[in-house]
Every structure is written in structure tokens, then in C-alpha cells.
């Protein structure tokens, strides 16, 4: 398997592939993006990579919109050009939500009722820097690969699960004039079991503050009748992490929607992915196997996995031959 190398980088993308499955759901609402050298603006094609997953709810319209626009919004950000990748991701998320509001105002009413998670991994290969940002409950997991045995070690979930029951989220929602409730033992804000997302404009300004029109049932449940409802109940404020990658190390990165992480433990997920890779599977096959495992269960959700293998330039990769399998 050939590296997607740029030639003078600290870390290279050795392999990458993605897959998704519908599971038991009536439709597929997940999307993902993989942008390596051939998909990037010319000035960044050898030095950067971008991966993301989007888990839609209320339809695929928001997750599909984000898939189409988010990369261009990141790479055109002034913060990206200055190397402030956390701000670049936040600015792109903000602009994406602004685009959804603009299209809603032009008549695309679905953006009020549909939304999506976003989990984004931005790699500066030349500097060996990984920055992730997320809203919602899709996740990015990083594990180091032992170059001798091929086993994983140091499994680390880099993203945050934004749920209404989290104390900080609950406090923010209530201060904004919202209220949370339980339905079928799941804590929700309106109809949502997450507190940050793209779209879902019915829970954001200016829609949440409009009192001259009838509220949706979900809005009525989400809002406190004694408040003025002037702030977003659902936000697009990302959680972010920055990781310095070693030139002498190897890594496995997994981007997943909750259809996978809700049913497969992070350590098992990364060990299984690495074991399949060590036995000669390519990254797309590895991602597909995890999707198949998740969607093969009863009442399974839409499931998406992007598998990325990273190789420090001082750690020549040895796949399959001479290494122990992790499973």
C-alpha cells in the first residue's frame, strides 16, 4: 500500500478509506469527506489533509450540505492560512450555519427541522499537527500503533459528546431560556438528544425568538414560557483538541458516527481496526468491516467510519509481514 506522501512532511497519510451503512433505519442520513492531496487547493495538496463525518437527523439535507461546503469554508478561512486551525474550523462551522439560515430565508424550510453533527480532523502534515473540532455526538479516536507488534496503545477519544444532560450544557440551555426533558429515558432539548449541531434552526436565533408565528411542538417543549428566548438553545460552538504527532510514530485515526461508537467500545474498535489492517486489509476494507459489525445488529443506526493510518517519516511502515495481529 503506497503512502500518500508529500515528500518533506513530518507525518504522511499512509492509507485512508471510508464506508457507511444504512442499518435498520429507513434512510441513510450520514455523510463523510476524505480530502488528501488530489482534493485540496494546489497550495495545500502535499502538506494538509482533511477528514470529516456528518450524522444527519430529520433527513440528510443538512449533513449533505455540510459535506458539500465545509472543506472550502475551512481552506478559505484567514485563520487557516495563519495556522490557527481551531479558529478555522469554528469559522467554517459558523459560516455553514449562516448558509443554512440564508437558504431557509429563501424558502428551504427543512433547515429549521433538520440538523447534523460535524466531526472534523485537520492535519498539517508538514508540521505533524492534528486538530479536531466537533459539534454533536460523532467522534474521532486516535491510537498509536506499536511499530514492532502492530498493536494499538494509548487509545484517545479526541472529541466531546454534546448532550443536554451534561451539567455545563444544561446550565447554558436554561440560561438561554430553554428547558430539557426526558423521553423514553433519553434526555432531550425539544426533539433532540444533543445540545450542539448544525442546522436545527428552530432552536436558534432568530427563529427561537419569533413569537408572532406558531411554534413547532418541539419548540414548545424546548422553551420556557417565562423567558424571552433570545439566545440559541442549540449552538455550533465546537469542542477542539490539538495533538502533536511524532515523526518516529505510527497512528490509526477513526472518525465515526454514533451508530458505531454506541455499540463498539473505543478500545475494541481501534484494536479490531488495527488487527484487520495488520493482516493486509486496506483502509476502506477496515472501515467497511466496522460498519458491517455495527449495522449487522438488531435495530442498528446509520453507521459511518473513516479509517486513516498515519506514518511518521522516521518510522518506516511495516504492514502485515513480521507483526503480530491485534485480534
Q: How many CB atoms lie within 10 A of CB 294?
A: 26
Please, which pLDDT band fits residue 209 given cuts at 50, 70 and 90? Answer: confident
Q: 102 vs 99, 136, 194, CA distance in Å?
A: 5, 22, 23
pLDDT score for 45:
87
> Cβ contacts of residue 228 below 8 Å, gap of 6+?
177, 209
Over the stretch 30-42, which tens digit does the pLDDT of each residue have? 999 999 988 888 8
- Of the candidates 187, 296, 298, 308, the one whose C-alpha atom is nearest the C-alpha of residue 256 is 308
- Of the candidates 264, 253, 301, the one whose C-alpha atom is nearest the C-alpha of residue 18 is 253
Tell me the helices (H) and strands (E) count for the chain, helix number first: 9, 14
| Averaged pLDDT for residues 37-51 | 90
Taking the C-alpha atoms of residue 129 and residue 133, their distance in angstroms, rounded to an integer, is 13
For residues 244 and 310, the answer to whether their CB atoms sit within 8 Å is: no
| Averaged pLDDT for residues 318-322 | 56
Torsion of CA 259, 265, 269, 271, to 10 degrees: 180
Is the pLDDT assigned to residue 2 strictly greater than 80?
no
| Averaged pLDDT for residues 87-93 | 98
Q: How many CB atoms lie within 10 A of CB 56?
A: 27
pLDDT score for 324:
47
For residues 252 and 307, the answer to whether their CB atoms sit within 8 Å is: yes
Is the pLDDT assigned to residue 214 strictly greater than 70?
no
- Of the candidates 317, 128, 162, 158, the one whose C-alpha atom is nearest the C-alpha of residue 253 is 158
Least confident of 79-88, 113-122, 213-222, 248-257: 213-222
> Cβ contacts of residue 210 below 8 Å, gap of 6+?
none
Is the pLDDT assigned to residue 229 strictly greater than 80?
no
Is the model's pTM score more than 0.75? yes
For residues 106 and 89, the answer to whether their CB atoms sit within 8 Å is: no
CA angle, residues 239, 240, 242, in degrees to nearest 5: 165
Percent of the chain with pLDDT over 90: 80
pLDDT score for 14:
94
Please, which pLDDT band fits residue 4 given cuts at 50, 70 and 90? Answer: low
Taking the C-alpha atoms of residue 285 and residue 287, their distance in angstroms, rounded to an integer, is 5
Please, which pLDDT band fits residue 321 given cuts at 50, 70 and 90? Answer: very low
Amino acid at each position: 500500500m503506497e503512502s500518500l506522501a508529500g515528500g518533506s512532511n513530518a507525518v504522511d497519510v499512509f492509507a485512508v478509506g471510508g464506508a457507511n451503512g444504512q442499518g435498520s433505519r429507513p434512510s441513510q442520513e450520514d455523510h463523510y469527506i476524505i480530502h488528501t492531496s488530489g482534493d485540496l487547493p494546489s497550495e495545500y495538496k502535499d502538506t494538509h489533509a482533511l477528514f470529516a463525518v456528518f450524522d444527519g437527523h430529520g433527513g440528510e439535507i443538512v449533513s449533505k450540505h455540510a459535506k458539500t461546503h465545509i472543506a472550502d469554508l475551512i481552506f478559505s478561512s484567514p485563520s487557516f492560512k495563519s495556522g490557527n486551525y481551531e479558529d478555522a474550523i469554528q469559522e467554517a462551522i459558523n459560516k455553514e450555519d449562516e448558509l443554512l439560515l440564508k437558504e431557509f430565508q429563501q424558502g428551504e424550510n427543512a433547515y429549521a427541522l433538520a440538523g447534523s453533527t460535524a466531526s472534523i480532523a485537520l492535519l498539517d502534515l508538514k508540521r505533524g499537527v492534528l486538530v479536531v473540532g466537533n459539534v454533536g455526538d460523532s467522534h474521532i479516536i486516535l491510537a498509536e500503533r506499536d511499530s514492532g507488534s502492530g498493536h494499538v496503545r494509548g487509545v484517545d477519544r479526541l472529541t466531546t459528546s454534546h448532550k443536554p444532560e451534561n451539567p455545563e450544557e444544561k446550565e447554558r440551555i436554561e440560561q438561554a431560556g430553554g428547558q430539557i426533558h426526558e423521553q423514553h429515558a433519553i434526555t432531550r432539548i425539544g426533539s433532540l438528544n444533543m445540545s450542539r449541531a448544525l442546522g436545527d434552526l428552530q432552536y436558534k436565533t432568530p427563529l427561537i425568538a419569533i413569537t408572532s408565528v406558531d411554534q413547532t411542538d418541539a419548540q414548545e417543549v424546548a422553551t420556557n414560557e417565562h423567558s424571552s428566548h433570545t439566545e440559541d438553545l442549540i449552538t455550533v460552538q465546537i469542542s477542539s483538541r490539538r495533538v502533536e504527532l511524532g515523526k518516529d510514530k505510527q497512528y490509526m485515526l477513526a472518525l465515526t458516527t454514533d451508530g458505531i461508537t454506541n455499540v463498539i467500545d473505543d478500545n475494541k474498535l481501534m484494536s479490531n481496526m488495527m488487527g484487520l489492517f495488520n493482516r493486509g486489509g486496506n483502509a476502506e476494507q477496515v472501515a467497511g468491516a466496522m460498519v458491517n459489525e455495527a449495522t449487522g445488529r438488531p435495530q442498528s443506526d446509520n453507521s459511518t467510519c473513516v479509517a486513516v493510518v498515519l506514518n511518521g517519516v522516521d518510522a518506516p511502515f511495516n504492514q502485515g509481514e513480521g507483526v503480530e495481529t491485534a485480534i
